[in-house]
Every structure is written in C-alpha cells, then in structure tokens.
Structure 1
Amino acid sequence: MRHLLILGLLFLIGTDSDASDLSSQELLPSDPIPSYTMWMGGAKGRHAYDKAVTWLAMEKSRVKYGPYSLHTIEHRPGIERARIEAARADRFQVHISPNDEVMEESAGSLIRIKESVIKGILGYRRLIIRKADADKFKQIDSLSKLQTLSVGQGVRWPDVAVLRANNISVVQTHSIDSLFAMLNKKRFDAISLGINEAEGTLETVIAQYPDLIIEPNIVLFFPMSVYFYVNTQHPELAERLTYGIRKAKKDGSFDSLFALHFYNEIATINQSNIKFFTLKNDSMSSLDASQTPLLIQQH
C-alpha cells in the first residue's frame, strides 16, 4: 500500500510545466530518447526509495532536459569489486551509495552529486538477531555492554570501520546471504542494517531463517551521507540529476517523498521503549552528514 501511495504522490508532483525551465537542451522530435540504467546494489530494503528518488529527480528535470528512459539492474550485495568493474564498463550510469572507500576507488569512473538523497537515514541502524537471544539484548543499556557483542557485516561495508572504531567486534563475509546463514549458526550476535533496509531485507530470507527477528528496543546512530553517483561517461546525466534533486528540495516534493516513504520507520525509532546509542564516525562515509540524529525527537 505504501508503494502505491508513493506512486500517487510522484504522479502529482513529478511533471512540471514551468515555462521558465525550457532551454535549448530540449530534444527535437528526431533526437533519440536517452536511456539510462541504475545499479541496485544495496540491501533489498533500500530499492523502492532509491528508485523513487531517482525517478523524482529525473521527472523534476523533464521540462528542461527532455524525455528519458530509466531501467534498473539488481545485484545482490556481495564482492564490491563487481560494482567498480561495472562502472568502468559503463554497464550502469547511476547508483545511490554512501561515500565509502569503494566509491572513492571508483572516483575515476563515477561523479558524486553533492546533494544528500536520504537525510542520513542509512546511519540509523536496527539489529537483526536470533529470537533466542531476545532476553540478552534486553539487558543492553550502555555502550560498554553493546561492545561485548559481535556484529556481522559485508566486506568493506562502511559500517565495518565505524563499528570497529567504537570497539565493537565485526565479522565480515562477501554476501548478505552468508550473513544470515552465519547469524543463524551463531557465528556472531547480530546483523546491523539501516532502518530503511532491515525489515525489507529480513522479509526476503525469513522463510529460510524463521528464528531471526529485528531487535525491538535498540537503535544505533552514526553520521552517514548517501549520494547519487553517475558514470563519468555521462556528464549530462550528472547535470540533470543535480538540477532535478535541487528543484525537488526547493519545492518540497523531496521532503514529501521522504516523509511518506519512511513514516513508519521514523515513528518506530521515536517510540519510548527505544534505547538509542550514538556512535562516532570519523570515516569518509560521514562526509557532510549531520553529527546529530535529526530524526529523533525523544532522545
């Protein structure tokens, strides 16, 4: 139902008729419609919003830049090298990601658009745990107790450096499928995922691992920014997305999309039962991010 509401919202706000946006860059009838592919490489729970915010930016720039075609390719989170090689081969033209070390390695292949697209929500983390450990997690009421746990993460995920800098033990693996299997086998105590990822991602594996749950009382926070990245072979797309996302922020449609899509997640983390832990993040993934948890009203 929420996705239908989002589509309805985007239908209402997506097409502009402001004649002042008309420019010499409009396509002539004989010009081909540009076609772009978006790399969907994050956890499954992120995909709906990533698609929606990209579509919003493209629609907000339609009058100025003309029609377009946008497709997606989904790639299960795994060996990050695949993302770098795909960018260099121009197999995708746009991607949404934190400003992590993998994206820095791709600097010669990708342009970072310096407009945050998700208001730091990826830095609010829920823990996926085994049901049998629920009582153990209820006892965690301080950072020192949190530091007695071990957390599973994907290889080179930006969380790895953050958790280790906060003296939390990390176990890494190359695929998200392996993470759930390893948690189920008690190789570590929890998996940390963004509040925009956890529920949707757990839903994809719950039939296989029915004894895993989202821990209901703990939320971690650390500063994290997320951006559009565009293949360097398509500077026109970088220009278009920059224009579109700035226009959406100016007219309020970006805020409307964010609030509608993440209403439940924001309400959940503001419940009175939540124990909130702020972690320091001095890594590159905190670039331009708010150092305070702006989505929290009760802490």
Structure 2
Amino acid sequence: MPLRRRELLLSPAALPLAAHAAPRSLRIPHVSPKAELDRSYAAVLLEQALAAAGMPVVLEPTPELIPQNRALQELGRHRRVDVVWTMTSVEREQQALPVRVPIFKGLFGWRLLLATPEVAERLRGVQTLNELRPFSMVSGHEWPDTSILQANGLNVIVSPSYDAMFKQLRLGRADAFPRSVEEIWWELERYGQGLVVVPNLCLHYPAPVYYFVAPDDTVLARAIELGLQRLRASGAMEKLFLQHLGDDLARARLGTRKVIELRNPLLSPQTPLDQPELWFRPQG
C-alpha cells in the first residue's frame, strides 16, 4: 500500500527507533560494474538521509552483481537485500515500495549517445525525433529505457549483455547507445574504445530513480523519506548531488545541445512531476 504524505513526514519521535540503537545493517545490491559502490552518490545519500532521520546504518553491498529486476524481487521474497535504487515504472512500484523522491533529480532521463565517429557525424544533422528514427538504438533486456525508446517509435535492438552493447556499436550492428549523463563518461573511459559521445544531441524523458524497499518495510520507507526531506531543506542533498555529479554535468554541456523530448509511458500517476524543485533542468 502506498505511503500517505502525512505518514512520510512524521517526526523522528513518531518512528519506532531506539534513540541509541546500534547502526542497522542494510544490504544493498551490486547492480553496476562501477567501482566503490558503497561510496557512490546514492549510497552516501542513503546513509546521510537515514542518519538525519535518526536511523544510523551500515551498508553491506552484495559481493556479486545482481540485475536490477532480480534485486527488486529479492526485496519482497528472499530478503537478500533491504534497499534498491533504480529507475521506476508502474510495474516496479507494484513489486516493491517506492520512496517517491527522485534522488538523481531525473538525471537518468538526460541521455547522451555513444556511437562510432562515422555514425556520430551522421547524427550531427538530426534535429527532430522523426529524423532520429532511422537510427537504431541498442538497449538492455528488461530495462525501462528500452520500453520508453520503443514507445517513442525508435528502432531498438535489445541485448541481454551489458558488455556486448559496446561491441555491437563497434561492429555496426547498432548505431547508438543512449546513456545517462551520470554513466556515459565512466563508460567511455572503460568500454568506449573506438567510440565517441555524439557532441550536439541529447534525448530527454522524465526518469526518476527512487529508493525501493520491501512492500512491508514501511518503517524504513518512512525514515528514508523523512531524511531526504530534511537533507533537501538544509541544502545538504543539493551539495552532495553537485559534489558527486557536477563534473559529469559540466562535461555534458546540456544547455548547448539539441534536446529531443521523449514521453515516458511507464510512470505512475503518483510521480511528482508537478514539483519542479525535485528535477534537474540545464541552464541555457
């Protein structure tokens, strides 16, 4: 059952937390090959939010990589993980309990394109969605982005393997790989041999990343929500966002790019699209 707003904004005293309890161990899934998972932006924000809500925690990443969909299933069934952060969809919000604060301010919906230099040159002249449709996009199996791209009439080549997607570009089996501003520079350095970031183009769709917990773990959900609201009010969340992601944003120069807007049909009616302060918008 979704949490009501008045429940989520409870004072710390209303949460059944011991004032001097030992830190709670929270298991988080290793869903990305990026290093230093426990020091990532989302992990540090989670720690700080729960500390602000009076629930100190110690994060314990799983030793093995766990795909996002499987990690969400682990929340409700086997309890191998306690918190997952991932892009939302109606289906995912039915599987697990979302805390509806977009922790990346929608940054995962700002997509730059990886391509070979030859394809990047052809993409330079693209100005509209119709002009983009002849190009094929590679995307992951069961990723929400795949359904979003397909819903906008784009030609999507679905791949079950993350590593294989970069190879498909180099082999000419797909034209471009849309990646978020937060991901693309790290991936270009590690997997992007022979590839470039298309310099003048950007895709955008509303794509909140939420923290998800098990459907019955309302205490943890309330604490995360309360802590996030307190960090936002103090400015600490924005400071952390810029500390971790500011360099990626500066490098992307989103305000100078042609932005092609896409619709996201996967969002639930509860998505806080009417709260502009929760979302990133580039300066022109």
- TM-score, shorter chain, exceeding 0.5: yes
Q: Flag the 1:250–1:264 CA change in 2: closer, same or farther, 3 A.
A: same
> Given the alignment of the two structures, is residue 25 of structure 1 paired with residue 17 of structure 2, yes or no?
yes
- Aligned counterparts of 1:265 and 1:285: Cα–Cα separation in 2: 29
Deviations 1:97-123 (A, max 9, x none): 1212552452xxx22112221111111
The TM-score with structure 2 as length reference comes to: 0.82
Q: Is the 8 A contact 2:255 2:283 kept in 1?
A: no
Partner in structure 2 of residue 40 of structure 1: 30
- Aligned counterparts of 1:255 and 1:201: Cα–Cα separation in 2: 24
- How far is 1:139 from its partner? 2.2
Q: Flag the 1:271–1:226 CA change in 2: closer, same or farther, 3 A.
A: closer
Q: Is the 8 A contact 1:147 1:168 kept in 2?
A: yes
1:227 to 201, 205, 210: 210
Deviations 1:53-96 (A, max 9, x none): 212212322xx33x332122366575x55224422211110011
Partner amino acid for 1:255? E
> Given the alignment of the two structures, is residue 188 of structure 1 paired with residue 178 of structure 2, yes or no?
no
- How far is 1:42 from its partner? 4.7
Q: Flag the 1:160–1:228 CA change in 2: closer, same or farther, 3 A.
A: same
Q: Flag the 1:68–1:255 CA change in 2: closer, same or farther, 3 A.
A: same
User: RMSD of aligned C-alpha atoms?
Assistant: 2.9
- Aligned counterparts of 1:232 and 1:256: Cα–Cα separation in 2: 31
1:98 to 80, 87, 92: 87
Partner in structure 2 of residue 212 of structure 1: 195
Give 3-state SS (helix, strand or coil) of 1:249's partner: helix
Q: Is the 8 A contact 1:45 1:199 kept in 2?
A: no
Q: Is the 8 A contact 2:100 2:272 kept in 1?
A: no
Give 3-state SS (helix, strand or coil) of 1:197's partner: helix
Partner in structure 2 of residue 266 of structure 1: 249
> Given the alignment of the two structures, is residue 60 of structure 1 paired with residue 13 of structure 2, yes or no?
no
- Aligned counterparts of 1:153 and 1:231: Cα–Cα separation in 2: 27
How many residues are aligned here?
267
- How far is 1:291 from its partner? 10
Deviates more, 1:230-239 or 1:132-141: 230-239
- How far is 1:193 from its partner? 1.1
Partner in structure 2 of residue 288 of structure 1: 272
Q: Is the 8 A contact 1:125 1:221 kept in 2?
A: yes
> Given the alignment of the two structures, is residue 152 of structure 1 paired with residue 143 of structure 2, yes or no?
no
Deviations 1:264-289 (A, max 9, x none): 33334446652221112232278333
- Aligned counterparts of 1:147 and 1:212: Cα–Cα separation in 2: 21
Q: Is the 8 A contact 1:120 1:290 kept in 2?
A: no
- Aligned counterparts of 2:17 and 2:169: Cα–Cα separation in 1: 52
Gaps of 5+ in 1: 1-19
- Aligned counterparts of 2:30 and 2:274: Cα–Cα separation in 1: 25
Q: Flag the 1:60–1:223 CA change in 2: closer, same or farther, 3 A.
A: same
- How far is 1:129 from its partner? 0.7
Gaps of 5+ in 2: 1-10
Q: Is the 8 A contact 2:254 2:282 kept in 1?
A: no
Partner in structure 2 of residue 6 of structure 1: none
Partner amino acid for 2:166? F
- Aligned counterparts of 1:297 and 1:91: Cα–Cα separation in 2: 41
The TM-score with structure 1 as length reference comes to: 0.78
Q: Flag the 1:271–1:97 CA change in 2: closer, same or farther, 3 A.
A: closer
Partner in structure 2 of residue 49 of structure 1: 41
- Aligned counterparts of 2:36 and 2:204: Cα–Cα separation in 1: 17
Q: Is the 8 A contact 1:41 1:74 kept in 2?
A: no
Deviations 1:19-39 (A, max 9, x none): x967873355xx654211112
- Aligned counterparts of 2:194 and 2:244: Cα–Cα separation in 1: 28
